[in-house]
Amino acid sequence: MANKPISQADVEKYWEIFSAHSKDGQRITGDQAFTMLKNSGLNDDQLAKIWDLADVDRDGDLDFEEFCVAMRLIFDLVNGEYKQVPKTLPSFLIPESKAHLVTASQALSDDPPRFERFDDDEDDTPGLKDGFDWYISPADKARYEGMYSANAGEHGQLRFNALDELYEGINVPDTDIRFAWNLVNPSASAAIGRDQALVFLHILNNRHEGYRIPRSVPASLRATFQKNQISYDLDKNDDIITKNKPGKGRDMSTITGKKEAFGESYLTRLGVGGRGNYKHSGTDFSASKDQDWEEVRLKRELAELETKIAETEAMAEKRRNRDKFGGGGSKAALVKRELEQMLDYKRRTLRDLEEGGGLGKSGANLKGVKEDLEMVREQVDALEQHLKSREDVLAGLLKEVEEEKAKR
């Protein structure tokens, strides 16, 4: 089963879906998501359980982080990663910003994780050694604290499944891991505190080294577990925690090697103690929120702005053309009409002169009149040429308008 956090590529893909269905880009309601989620082919009961897991803050809506969780669960179910909806949200899907809500919700639930307890005669694993030592050396304590700090929730509580990677990398059976959890968690709480976690890791470390896990813890330790606190005063707890002396039945070379396998390799993977930068086992949406899906949102807004700009420019161009082909066309028609009227008048005057009437009665002015007519004719010809050129321009503009209409 894949237990990898949501990849950045998936986050970007989910953002495209989320932004298309959410009205404000901040959250999506059940009604908005109903049709989309139904397309997955899952039944209503499965979708309801997925919604309950994803709605971490229980506000009835899904923000983007919660939506990503829901989509990942749906895809995993459809692809066969899960046979049924998980009862609790997997640790690698818990958003960092809501980890404390998950811890609080599960701590208040009526069904905290309880593991089967085993009797003394059930631990018949061959090759295990007796002589388990409750003492935690300073070096071991520092190593355990690194593991605890890397996996604890916001309020300092450590959940059982937060150490899944550690369980996979150590030579400890699952039954022993759960039994060790029961030892330090007698109240069967959903999570344990810092001191319980250190003892839990100490038990696993010793079991990894080949030591048999005790069937019970000393009474004083059990009392401190109930109070969720523990004392490291060695003088006060001589009957509980003994000094770790050389030659106390341990193969030091073997222990050193196995300690390295238990602690150092796991811490290296986590990146604790100067070995790198640790990241929570859950999904961190902060980077994608600031980079990838924020970039997608900006690209989408840019595309919308470009569309609006194009529409605005088209409308402005249309108005400009209307002004040209409306007011400009009317003006050209008026000039043409006036020129035609002037031409008609001059033709009538010329005809009268040729017929000997009108101004022709004054022979002295006939030459001057002819010169005037010739000048008027030249002016008319020039005006007609100008009119023709303007008509050609108008025809070209009308043709462009028709072409633009045809393109749309």
Position 296: which residue type? V
Low-confidence stretches of the chain (pLDDT beneath 50): 1, 108, 110-122, 229-252, 271-281, 286-290, 359-360
| Burial of residue 340, with CB atoms counted within 10 A of its CB: 0-12 exposed, 13-18 middle, 19 or more buried | middle
Write out the two tokens for 297. 């949102």
Q: How many CB atoms lie within 10 A of CB 408?
A: 5
d(CA 341, CA 197): 108
| Burial of residue 306, with CB atoms counted within 10 A of its CB: 0-12 exposed, 13-18 middle, 19 or more buried | exposed
d(CA 275, CA 343): 100
Q: Which pLDDT belongs to residue 224? A: 65
Sign of the Cα torsion 17, 283, 5, 7 reads positive
Reduced to 3 states (helix: H, G, I; strand: E, B; else coil), residue 24 is coil
Reduced to 3 states (helix: H, G, I; strand: E, B; else coil), residue 192 is strand
Asked if residue 74 lies in contact with residue 40, where contact means CB atoms within 8 angstroms, the answer is yes
Write out the two tokens for 298. 């900006």
Reduced to 3 states (helix: H, G, I; strand: E, B; else coil), residue 45 is helix
Same topology, domains 8-87 and 120-290? Answer is: yes
d(CA 114, CA 201): 18
Reduced to 3 states (helix: H, G, I; strand: E, B; else coil), residue 264 is helix
Place of tokens 């303007």: 390
Q: Which pLDDT belongs to residue 201? A: 94
Q: Which residue ranges make up each domain of the chain?
A: 8-87, 120-290, 292-407
Q: Check if CATH label 1.10.238.10 holds for domain 8-87.
A: yes
C-alpha distance from residue 160 to each of 25, 55, 386 (Å)? 35, 22, 93
Q: Which pLDDT belongs to residue 346? A: 79
Residue whose C-alpha is closest to residue 67's, from 113, 19, 111, 103: 19
Q: Which pLDDT belongs to residue 323? A: 62
Place of tokens 């749309």: 408
Q: Which pLDDT belongs to residue 198? A: 92
Helices (H), 209-290: 219-227, 252-259, 265-270, 286-290
d(CA 176, CA 167): 11
DSSP letters for 119-159 = -GGG---TT-BS-------HHHHHHHHHHHHHH--TTS-EE
Asked if residue 184 lies in contact with residue 158, where contact means CB atoms within 8 angstroms, the answer is no
Q: Which pLDDT belongs to residue 321? A: 74
Write out the two tokens for 332. 């050209």
Q: State CA 178 to chain mean position distance.
A: 35
Q: Please compute, for residue 63, the number of CA atoms within 13 A of its CA located in the half-sphere on the CB side.
A: 11
Dihedral, CA atoms, 148, 151, 154, 155, nearest 10 degrees?
A: -40
d(CA 70, CA 50): 6
Residue whose C-alpha is closest to residue 75's, from 63, 94, 57, 93: 93
Euclidean distance between the first and final Cα of the chain, in Å?
Answer: 53
Q: Which pLDDT belongs to residue 280? A: 45
Write out the two tokens for 198. 């250190």
Residue whose C-alpha is closest to residue 96's, from 361, 288, 254: 288
CATH topology of domain 120-290: Recoverin; domain 1 (1.10.238)
pTM of the model: 0.35
Asked if residue 159 lies in contact with residue 190, where contact means CB atoms within 8 angstroms, the answer is yes
Asked if residue 202 lies in contact with residue 144, where contact means CB atoms within 8 angstroms, the answer is yes
Asked if residue 171 lies in contact with residue 127, where contact means CB atoms within 8 angstroms, the answer is no
Q: Which pLDDT belongs to residue 133? A: 87
